[in-house]
């Protein structure tokens, strides 16, 4: 029988020593990653780090609602449980589903997506859900956000990798549901070049005091870029090392934002660069949003492009993209249809407009389009408050986790023929779909893209098409 430590989430407010362990059977997985069990009295308990079919011995905390369980032992493993490969899996808050097989993760994601959408669109016919598997389950992340803390200025001691070689300095991830630091010296989901950074960062912070977020990503030429947002003081040696690493070409760039200082300090070019879906380099804004996987982002962008031009009419179309970011989707959308998408060459692109609120991301988007010789208008504005012009035929939107309630209302009132909605949060997606489907848009395609292997997160693509006026009147 295997003993597990708690995977964060739900600290107790009572004396755990007085609680007797409870045997729980995990019935299903919930949004957020926890397993769901019910006690003999019918009480619902959320248990992190479990799999459907697990029978576990758990310490149940009833001071929170819903009750939370801490796994003490796995008595009987469920059919989808596997042995996690990472030594930090029970403490780090990152890979909350590494104890599940790849097939089990995909099946669970599909259920969670369909369940969320069904809650708000119970009277709407849903198409079968298509799942796009992850290109690779490990070593896929080309960016990550870390937490670093330095106490007493830190010092070098001995040798070794990561936190084990530097006293008073910790670099790693946050524990699940908390701001507590979990120092790590290896991360199996990072690309090898970024994983190697975990051994460099503690030495970089020798002499510092305070804490900060560290965004690491792949930059120009595949070399790392580092974004440091620090709350405290940095030693002169930190600035010297940043300058040296960039000057020597070890890193492509770095940027430091100190609390209380208006303008960050930059070394080289701190902007991440990945291979776009068209095979050309794609520039991302420093410290801004980007998909975690280069290959996964390409799968996503290609499929969105295909869905935009599916059943396109034989005339030039006006295309609007909301929440465009640095152009992960835009560099394909601005090209118009592929030869196979255009019906005998008749379908074409009349205009392309991209809306993005972040000025740095919008600048990268313009640069990405220009580098490819593509035309299109990039507007810096709040996409969730942007009116939909009457002539727009197709709208693509990829909002943050909070969704796009404002954009959904505008789309519902518009005459857009097709909407392709990309979401990383099934709950807010479902909320917005309820408004869109009530306006006469039908869901024609529902797809999940495995962009976040080993986690409970999933990317979703939904294509909606406007019902013809006659069909709408008869329904």
pLDDT at 341: 62
Asked if pLDDT for residue 394 goes beyond 50, the answer is: yes
Residue 43, both tokens: 């009480």
CA neighbor of 99 nearest in space, from 2, 175, 182, 172: 2
Asked if pLDDT for residue 224 goes beyond 70, the answer is: yes
Contact present, 189 and 207 (Cβ < 8 Å):
no
Regarding predicted confidence, which is higher, 25 or 163? 25
Contact present, 297 and 307 (Cβ < 8 Å):
no
Annotated catalytic residue within 92, 187, 364, 424: 424
Q: Strands 22-29 and 55-61, how do they pair?
A: antiparallel
* Model confidence band, residue 167 (pLDDT cutoffs 50, 70, 90): confident
Strands (E), 48-110: 55-61, 67-76
Asked if pLDDT for residue 40 goes beyond 90, the answer is: no
CA neighbor of 49 nearest in space, from 64, 30, 71: 71
Domain 2-89 in CATH 2.40.50.140: yes
Burial class (CB in 10 A: 0-12, 13-18, 19+), 379: middle
User: Is the CA virtual torsion 445, 451, 454, 457 positive or negative?
Assistant: negative
* Model confidence band, residue 338 (pLDDT cutoffs 50, 70, 90): confident
Give the angle 168-239-161 at the CA atoms, nearest 5°. 40
Q: What is the average per-residue pLDDT within 199-214?
A: 94
What torsion, rounded to 10 degrees, do the Cα atoms 353, 357, 361, 365 define? 0
Q: Is 96 annotated as a binding residue?
A: no
Domain 121-136+289-474 in CATH 1.10.3720.10: no
Q: Is 356 annotated as a binding residue?
A: yes
* Model confidence band, residue 11 (pLDDT cutoffs 50, 70, 90): very low
Q: What is the C-alpha to C-alpha distance for residues 426 and 447, in angstroms, rounded to an integer? A: 11
Regarding predicted confidence, which is higher, 343 or 77? 77
Cα–Cα distances in angstroms (integers) from residue 49 to residues 62, 87, 98, 144, 184, in the given order: 18, 14, 9, 22, 19
CA neighbor of 327 nearest in space, from 288, 352, 362, 377: 362
The topology under which CATH files domain 143-271 is OB fold (Dihydrolipoamide Acetyltransferase, E2P) (2.40.50)
Q: Is 450 annotated as a binding residue?
A: no
pLDDT at 290: 86
Q: Give the mean pLDDT of the chain.
A: 90
Q: What is the average per-residue pLDDT within 376-394?
A: 97
Q: Is 244 annotated as a binding residue?
A: no
Characterize 415-429 residue by residue with b for buried, 16 or more Cβ atoms within 10 angstroms of its Cβ, and e for exposed. Answer: ebbbbbbbbbbbbbb
- Give phi and psi for 448, each to the nearest 5: -115, 135
Domain boundaries of the chain, sorted by first residue: 2-89, 121-136+289-474, 143-271
Distance, CA of 454 to chain centre? 12
Q: What is the average per-residue pLDDT within 247-260?
A: 96
424 is annotated as an active-site residue: yes
In 10 A of CB 103, how many CB atoms?
10
CA neighbor of 312 nearest in space, from 285, 277, 350: 350
CA contacts within 13 A on the Cβ side of 130: 11
DSSP state of 19: P
């Amino acid at each position: 029988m295997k003993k597990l430590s708690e995977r964060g989430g739900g600290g107790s407010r009572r004396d755990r020593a007085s609680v007797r362990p409870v045997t729980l059977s995990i019935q299903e997985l919930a949004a957020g990653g926890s397993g769901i069990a019910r006690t003999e009295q019918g009480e619902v308990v959320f248990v992190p780090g479990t799999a459907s079919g697990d029978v576990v011995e758990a310490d149940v905390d009833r001071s929170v609602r819903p009750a939370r369980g801490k796994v003490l032992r796995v008595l009987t493993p469920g059919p989808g449980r596997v042995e996690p490969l990472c030594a930090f899996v029970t403490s780090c808050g990152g890979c909350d589903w590494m104890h599940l097989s790849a097939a089990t993760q995909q099946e669970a994601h599909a259920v969670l997506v369909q369940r969320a959408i069904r809650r708000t669109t119970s009277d709407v016919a849903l198409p079968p859900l298509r799942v796009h598997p992850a290109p690779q389950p490990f070593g896929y992340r080309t960016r990550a956000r870390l937490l670093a803390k330095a106490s007493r200025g830190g010092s070098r001691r001995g040798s070794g990798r990561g936190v084990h070689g530097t006293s008073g300095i910790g670099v790693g991830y946050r524990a699940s549901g908390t701001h507590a630091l979990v120092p790590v010296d290896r991360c199996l989901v990072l690309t090898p070049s970024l994983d190697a950074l975990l051994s460099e960062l503690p030495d970089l912070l020798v002499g510092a005091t305070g804490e900060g977020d560290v965004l690491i990503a792949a930059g120009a030429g595949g070399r790392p870029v580092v974004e440091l947002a620090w709350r405290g003081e940095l030693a002169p040696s930190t600035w010297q090392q940043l300058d040296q690493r960039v000057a020597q070409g070890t890193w492509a760039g770095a940027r430091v934002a100190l609390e209380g200082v208006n303008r960050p300090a930059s070394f080289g070019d701190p902007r991440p660069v990945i291979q776009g879906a068209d095979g050309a380099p794609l520039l991302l804004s420093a410290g801004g949003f980007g998909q975690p996987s280069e290959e996964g982002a390409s799968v996503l962008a290609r499929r969105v492009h295909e869905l935009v031009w599916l059943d396109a009419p034989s005339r030039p179309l006006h295309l609007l993209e909301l929440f465009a970011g640095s152009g992960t989707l835009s560099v394909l959308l601005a090209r118009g249809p592929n030869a196979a998408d255009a019906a005998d060459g008749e379908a074409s692109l009349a205009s392309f407009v991209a809306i993005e609120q972040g000025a740095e991301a919008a600048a990268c988007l313009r640069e990405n389009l220009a580098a490819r010789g593509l035309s299109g208008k990039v507007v810096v504005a709040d996409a969730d408050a942007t009116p939909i012009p009457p002539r727009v035929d197709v709208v693509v939107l990829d909002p943050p986790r909070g969704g796009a309630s404002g954009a959904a209302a505008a789309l519902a009132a518009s005459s857009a023929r097709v909407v392709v909605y990309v979401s990383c949060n099934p709950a807010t997606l479902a909320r917005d779909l309820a408004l869109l489907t009530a306006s006469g848009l039908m869901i024609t395609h529902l797809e999940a893209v495995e962009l976040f292997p080993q986690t409970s997160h999933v990317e979703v693509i939904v294509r909606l098409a406007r019902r013809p006026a006659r069909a709408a009147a008869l329904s």
